[in-house]
Amino acid sequence: MNRRNWIKRTGAAGAGLLLAKYIKASDLTLAFDAKDFVKADFGSDFKWGVAASSYQTEGAWNIDGKGESNWDFFSRIPGKIERGENADVAADFYHKYAEDIDLIKEMNFKVFRFSISWPRILPNGTGEINLKGLEFYHKVIDKCISVGIEPWITIYHWDMPQVLEAQGGWTNRKVLDWFSEFTNVVTKEYGSKVKNWMVINEQLSYTGLGYMQGIFAPGKKSIKAFMKSIHYSTLCNAESARIIRKNVIDANIGTTFVTTHIEPIDQQKKNIEAANRMDAIMNRLFIEPCLGLGYPEDTLPILKKLKKLYEPGDEQRMVFDFDFIGIQYYFRTVAKHSMMPGMRAKEVKASERGVPANEMEGEIYPEGLYHILKKFSQYKGIRNLIVTENGTCVPDKLENGRVHDQGRIDYFKSHLEAVLKAKKEGVNVNGYFVWSPTDNFEWNKGYRTRFGLVYIDFKTLERTMKDSGLWFKAFLG
Ligand code: GCO
């Protein structure tokens, strides 16, 4: 779509901001030429990385003084995780980190984004520090640096100490103190070696799926709990960033948001409005308060309830001028009106529409990443975007020492084309991180769905580079 059409389809929303409105069904397929591109097209400063998280990869759930996390607890509740699986061992990154970082290097990536397990550092949530836990991340960081890979740390990727979850977790305003303490400990400890920090991974996922839909830890189904978790994690996001700024000289500070490109099923007004409401929750809810725009209650009046949770000064406390915003994109969402209270919108699944999807029913729609990058680039306060996660799950099979995951290669190629197209049109996108270097524990799906560039046999823990890993090795080499 050319720039003029794009501008025609934007309108003033929120505090005079230009936000993307929805495009006509006939415009949905943005033709990407199948032309090849090379790494150099993205520029020499572009960051190429892989992303992973502590609970999904480390295992060693009760080793060397680690405390129990909300996910250790949740995964033991019968029926919560497919096939009753848990991440007690996961990819055993705790013991195999050196091998995995060597593989990341072999694939020619220069950035490794990983998270720190809060209960490994503070087994009781606050107070006593576990020195073995501190030492583990020193080893990971040092290994990265020794092979020329930049460590990028996410402070929180969903594993909260269970002792704190038991006190309400993100629904307890005290989380501001708890999370500040954790941030202080890790930034003081690692700040001299690590300059790139992301505060939180996808607030919407653990607040929405954890406190409202009950399918992630802690498994609550309450709108009240959801509201509290939204507001307190929004405050923590900015507060923790301020702590990083204070503790880490020359820090590059970001945070990450889950995004999805949303389209109405057709051009009926009720469906367009439903898509707008869905957009308010799925794309705008967390970025806008952080930019000083408040919650998007203009589009979704139910969010006015959040005001009841405000204490004096909160409006300002939610704001932080991030150096970069991490965009995590996997699929497009098509919406239609529904009577469901609150959002009054529902998703029309990929299977109902008969379009290509991954193994988790996420529609494969690379143009969506282009649209999302354009959309976020229109916020005045955003200076720099990095795609901190993008990837897909396909039915991988290890046969004769190879995994021919052509579907994943095609996914990456088309999504990289989308990034490049946005970049060429002036979007300030400066990095792309693949989710994920190795297969790992995919939350409520357990080990069924695989996202890795490297295959893991979860019985032997043996690693095999998939064709997609080999593709990146050649592309980035
Ligand atoms: C997320 C998380 C990852 C997931 C990945 C694949 O975006 O949900 O950051 O932990 O594993 O997205 O679903």
Residue nearest (by alpha carbon) to ligand 1 atom 4: 442
Q: What is the pLDDT of residue 226?
A: 98
Contact 70, 172 (CB under 8 A): no
- Mind telling me the catalytic residues? 202, 389
Mean pLDDT computed over 276-305: 98
| CA 256 / ligand 1 centre spacing (Å) | 11
Handedness of CA 379, 381, 387, 388 (dihedral sign): negative
17 is a domain residue: no
18 is a domain residue: no
What's 409's domain CATH number?
3.20.20.80
38 is a domain residue: no
Tens-digit pLDDT profile for residues 359-382: 999 999 999 999 999 999 999 999
Residues in the chain: 477
Q: What is the pLDDT of residue 35?
A: 58
1 is a domain residue: no
| CA 115 / ligand 1 centre spacing (Å) | 12
Mean pLDDT, rounded, of the chain: 93
Tens-digit pLDDT profile for residues 6-17: 222 222 233 223
Range of the domain at 390: 44-476
254 is a domain residue: yes
| pLDDT above 70 coverage of the chain, percent | 93
Q: What is the pLDDT of residue 23?
A: 32
Mean pLDDT computed over 414-435: 97
Q: What is the pLDDT of residue 9?
A: 28
181 is a domain residue: yes
Pocket of ligand 1 (CB under 6 A): 53, 56, 201-202, 205, 258, 328, 389, 435, 442, 451
pLDDT band at 36 (very low <50, low <70, confident <90, very high): confident
| Structural domain count, the chain | 1
| CA 435 / ligand 1 centre spacing (Å) | 7
Q: Which atom of ligand 1 is nearest to the CA of 440?
A: 11
23 is a domain residue: no
Before 436, cis peptide (omega within 30)?
Answer: yes
84 is a domain residue: yes
Interior angle at CA 133, CA 110 and CA 239, nearest 5: 75
Tens-digit pLDDT profile for residues 231-245: 999 999 999 999 999
Contact 151, 145 (CB under 8 A): yes
Q: What is the pLDDT of residue 294?
A: 98
Distance of CA 54 to the CA centre of its chain: 13
Mean pLDDT computed over 324-331: 98
Q: What is the pLDDT of residue 18?
A: 32
Of residues 341 and 246, the one with the higher pLDDT is 246
Q: What is the pLDDT of residue 341?
A: 86
